Amino acid sequence: MSRFGIRNRLKKAMGLGQGPQIVRHELTYVLPNGTERKVQAEEHYSLLMAADAVGITISTGRRAGGTCPDGKCGLCRVEILDASGLSEQKDAEQQVIADHVAGTEHEGRPREPGPPAKPNTRLGCHTKIRGGGAKVLIPALFDPDSIVGE
């Protein structure tokens, strides 16, 4: 047995080295052009994080990746086609969507009113993956030109 084998056996005997099991669930993103992408997403990730992890940047505005600092920009909109395995919508998320639609000030700056929300509109950064089977339409991807000149 190599010294690494001994190390691993000792770690196992001491209950070390076995990190928490990562659970993944399959969900489907439908891109703006209609293409479907099946993704193995880590449980508890948001729809936004899971999409970013495979190179899909959800953005209906200037959001260029990651989550906005306060979770209130409302630019990570998606439309839920099948809500299987997704977290319930909370009041705070509904309020962010309403504020975006109304165009209320964000981060101390005025903003244009967003497009009307649909009954299945959710925010990618607020919606968490709890199980498999979801199908999520992404209405818009990040457009690098949207941040030029600002």
Query: By CB under 6 A, which span of 15-23, 36-44, 60-68, 114-122 interacts with ligand FES?
Result: 60-68
Binding flag, residue 73, ligand FES (CB under 6 A)? yes
Q: Measured from the CB of residue 42, what is the shortest distance to ligand FES in angstroms?
A: 18
- Options 14-22, 70-78, 81-89, 103-111: segment touching ligand FES (CB under 6 A): 70-78
Among 29, 56, 72, 127, the residue binding ligand FES under the rule CB under 6 A is 72
Instruction: Assign 144 to helix, strand or coil.
Output: helix
Question: Tokens standing for 137?
Answer: 């339409």
Pick from 67, 89, 94, 146 the residue near ligand FES by CB under 6 A. 67
Helices (H) and strands (E) in the chain, counts: 3, 5
- Measured CA to CA, the distance from residue 81 to residue 85 in angstroms comes to 12
Using rule CB under 6 A, residue 123 touches ligand FES:
yes
Per rule CB under 6 A, count of chain residues that contact ligand FES: 13
Q: Any idea how long the chain is?
A: 150
**Residue 47 near residue 124 (C-beta atoms within 8 A):** yes
Which lies closer to ligand FES via its Cβ, residue 67 or residue 146?
Answer: 67
**Which listed residue (71, 85, 131, 132) binds ligand FES by CB under 6 A?**
71
User: Interior CA angle at 91 toward 87 and 94, to 5°?
Assistant: 85
Closest CA to 85 of 36, 136, 121: 136
Q: In whole angstroms, give the CA distance from residue 53 to residue 56.
A: 7
76 is a site residue for ligand FES (CB under 6 A)? yes
**Residues at the interface with ligand FES (CB under 6 A):** 63, 67-68, 71-76, 96, 123-125
